[in-house]
């Protein structure tokens, strides 16, 4: 059996903490693992004979130019070989020869180099931030009539709030961490609190805590995404639960379409999307649809914010039983999926549907045209509900 | 910080300007010149040397004159010469102050 030549290892320190990463790579080399390339937070190591080597990480300039090519060549002459590059951000050099001269002999100059790189990252951060702000503005303009914030403050459900906060935190941490960490390392070099190219004075406790936090956030997002994928798979395989959900949604959609022609003449409030958004969308669409889901939930709350439970349905039944509307046409929609009630009194038409203790639809119409239209459609509605 | 970075030159920066004051040199020649001039007291790492050269080029204290293969030759600009003279004057004042105290 062929012996394994490479090993993948999750890099446990921040990718932006140069001294910590250098120290960890030295430790790996002492265990016989030599860095070959970096893939995200994963290091690809060549398995070899354990030996003492040195590593040096150097930020890259804004683009590879002739100076860097010359520089690499001189580094090589001095015993330093380039072994890896990380996301066009920095190069990792390794010296196997213990007598190879130090690449950096002036901490102040090193600090200048890192400071320049920090500025580059800062520009990148500002650019990304502006792009995101523009995307949010565009989204609000297109989809939510600028009421997303209003909804979020007043009616955001716990899962929506958590998901949005998680996404924001991951974005912020990802763009801010490099700038902050390069800043702190730059200050360390400026104060000359370094020991050659291996800085042993960095307090990594906070940085490692931050990395764990980010890892936790990623894990949370990964779980939500997995849940989303699994749900789609389950739908595709015809799992009864999801088939049932689709049936419910299908009926509500049909009802909404059936009632929509009178909406121009009368006032109709509908909680059609409330069920979908509040109960199913987080599972079905996961994180990628979080924003659209939020806007749909907003619409739901705006329209039926006062009617959200079986209690209302039961209250409506009491009205019927007490014969409070003597001239009304009354009907209780007893269907396999919904509990529902309909009454029409003079110019008022009202219908509510309850699904598993959640108010999913309420229609209220005022006016002659609406009443006539809906009265005519009532048999259709009843047939559909019972069918 | 960056604007003030070159108001005071570190020893490494000073010797790079010293090397380029009277002749055009490539990176390796600059390093060799400094080792010879300081009799081995200062051995500048290649990382430090190229960071300084890049920084000086950005600040227009030096300029590239020719490229032969991987060898790039630099010359000092008027701005570089002014910075170099100003640093010498500053060091002279420091030395004079120290000597006036009969150290």
Q: How confident is the model at residue A281 (pLDDT cuts 50, 70, 90)?
A: very low
pLDDT in tens, A350-359: 676 766 656 6
Q: How confident is the model at residue A115 (pLDDT cuts 50, 70, 90)?
A: confident
| Across B18-40, average pLDDT | 90
- Chain B within 8 Å of A374 (Cβ-Cβ)? no
Pick from B2, B27, B45: CB nearest A115:
B2
Residues of A in contact with B55 (CB under 8 A): 109, 112, 116
Cα distance between residue A153 and residue A161, in whole Å: 9
HEC assignment per residue over A210-246: HHHHHHHHHHHHHHHHHHHHHHHHHHHCCCHHHHHHH
Cα distance between residue A121 and residue A119, in whole Å: 5
Backbone angles phi, psi at A87, to 5 degrees: 45, 40
What are the beta bridge partners of residue B38?
none
How far off is chain B from A308, nearest CA to CA, in Å? Answer: 59
Pick from A56, A69, A70: CB nearest B47:
A56
Pick from A61, A102, A108: CB nearest B45:
A102
**Tokens read off for A31:** 């265990």
How far off is chain B from A140, nearest CA to CA, in Å? Answer: 40
Contact partners, residue A279, CB within 8 Å, separation at least 6:
A358
Which position has the token pair 């921040």?
Answer: A14
Contact partners, residue A245, CB within 8 Å, separation at least 6:
A280
Q: Quote the pLDDT of residue A301.
A: 43
Residues of A in contact with B1 (CB under 8 A): 115
Would the CB atoms of A66 and B67 count as touching at under 8 Å?
Answer: yes
Q: Quote the pLDDT of residue A197.
A: 41
| Across A61-80, average pLDDT | 73
Q: Quote the pLDDT of residue A264.
A: 42
**Tokens read off for B38:** 């300081």
Cα distance between residue A193 and residue A202, in whole Å: 9
**Tokens read off for A274:** 């409330």
Cα distance between residue A97 and residue A112, in whole Å: 27
| Across A264-272, average pLDDT | 40
SS3 B4: coil
Count CB-CB contacts under 10 A for residue A313.
Answer: 20
pLDDT in tens, A119-157: 777 777 777 777 766 766 665 555 554 444 454 545 444
Look up residue A262 and give its DSSP letter. Answer: G
Q: Which chain A residue has the Cα nearest residue B74?
A: A67
Q: How confident is the model at residue A280 (pLDDT cuts 50, 70, 90)?
A: very low
Would the CB atoms of A71 and B72 count as touching at under 8 Å?
Answer: no
Q: How confident is the model at residue B92 (pLDDT cuts 50, 70, 90)?
A: very high
Pick from B10, B45, B46: CB nearest A108:
B10
Q: Which uninterrupted H or E stretch holds A368?
A: helix A368-386
Give the DSSP letter string of A115-182.
HHHHHHHHHHHHHHHHHHHHHHHHHIIIIITT-HHHHHHHH--HHHHHHHHHHHHHHHHHHHHHHHHH
Name the H helices within chain B: 11-21, 27-37, 46-58, 78-100
SS3 A339: strand
How far off is chain A from B51, nearest CA to CA, in Å? Answer: 7
pLDDT in tens, A152-184: 545 444 555 566 666 666 666 666 667 777 777
Look up residue A309 and give its DSSP letter. Answer: B
């Amino acid at each position: 059996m062929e012996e394994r030549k490479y090993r993948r290892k999750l890099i446990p320190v921040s990718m932006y903490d140069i001294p910590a990463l250098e120290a960890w790579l030295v430790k790996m080399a002492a265990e016989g693992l030599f860095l070959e390339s970096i893939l995200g937070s994963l290091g690809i190591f060549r398995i070899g004979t354990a030996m003492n080597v040195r590593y040096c990480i150097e930020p890259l300039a804004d683009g590879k130019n002739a100076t860097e090519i010359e520089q690499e060549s001189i580094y090589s002459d001095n015993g330093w070989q380039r072994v890896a590059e990380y996301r066009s951000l920095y190069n990792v050099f390794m010296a196997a020869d213990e007598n190879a001269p130090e690449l950096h002999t002036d901490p102040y100059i090193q600090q200048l180099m890192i400071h320049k790189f920090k500025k580059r990252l800062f520009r990148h951060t500002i650019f990304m931030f502006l792009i995101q702000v523009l995307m949010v503005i565009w989204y609000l303009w297109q989809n939510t009539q600028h009421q997303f914030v209003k909804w979020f403050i007043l009616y955001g459900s716990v899962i929506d709030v958590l998901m949005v906060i998680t996404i924001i935190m991951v974005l912020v941490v990802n763009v801010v961490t490099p700038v902050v960490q390069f800043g702190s390392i730059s200050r360390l070099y400026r104060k000359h609190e370094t020991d050659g190219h291996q800085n042993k004075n960095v307090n990594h406790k906070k940085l490692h805590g931050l990395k764990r936090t980010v890892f936790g956030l990623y894990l949370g997002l990964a779980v939500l995404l997995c849940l989303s994928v699994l749900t789609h798979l389950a739908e595709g395989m015809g799992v009864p639960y999801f088939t049932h959900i689709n049936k419910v949604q299908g009926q509500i959609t049909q009802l909404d379409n059936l009632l929509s022609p009178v909406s121009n003449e009368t006032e109709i409030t509908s909680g059609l999307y409330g069920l979908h958004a509040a109960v199913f969308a987080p599972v079905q669409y996961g994180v990628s649809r979080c924003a659209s889901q939020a806007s749909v939930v907003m619409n739901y709350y705006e329209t039926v914010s006062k009617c959200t439970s079986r209690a209302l349905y039961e209250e409506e039944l009491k009205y019927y039983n007490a014969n409070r509307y003597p001239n009304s046409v009354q009907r209780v929609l007893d269907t396999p999926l919904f509990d529902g009630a309909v009454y029409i009194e003079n110019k008022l038409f009202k219908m509510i549907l309850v699904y598993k203790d959640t108010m999913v639809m309420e229609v209220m119409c005022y006016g002659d045209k609406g009443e006539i239209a809906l009265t005519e459609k009532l048999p259709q509605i009843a047939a559909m509900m019972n069918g | 910080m960056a604007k003030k970075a070159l108001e005071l030159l570190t020893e490494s920066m000073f010797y790079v300007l010293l090397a380029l004051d009277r002749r055009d040199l490539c990176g390796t020649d600059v390093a060799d010149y400094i080792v010879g001039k300081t009799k081995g007291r200062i051995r500048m790492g290649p990382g430090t040397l190229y960071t300084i050269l890049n920084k000086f080029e950005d600040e227009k204290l030096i300029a590239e004159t020719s490229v032969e293969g991987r060898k790039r030759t630099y010359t000092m600009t008027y701005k570089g010469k002014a910075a170099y003279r100003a640093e010498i004057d500053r060091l002279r004042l420091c030395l004079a102050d120290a000597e006036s105290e009969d150290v």
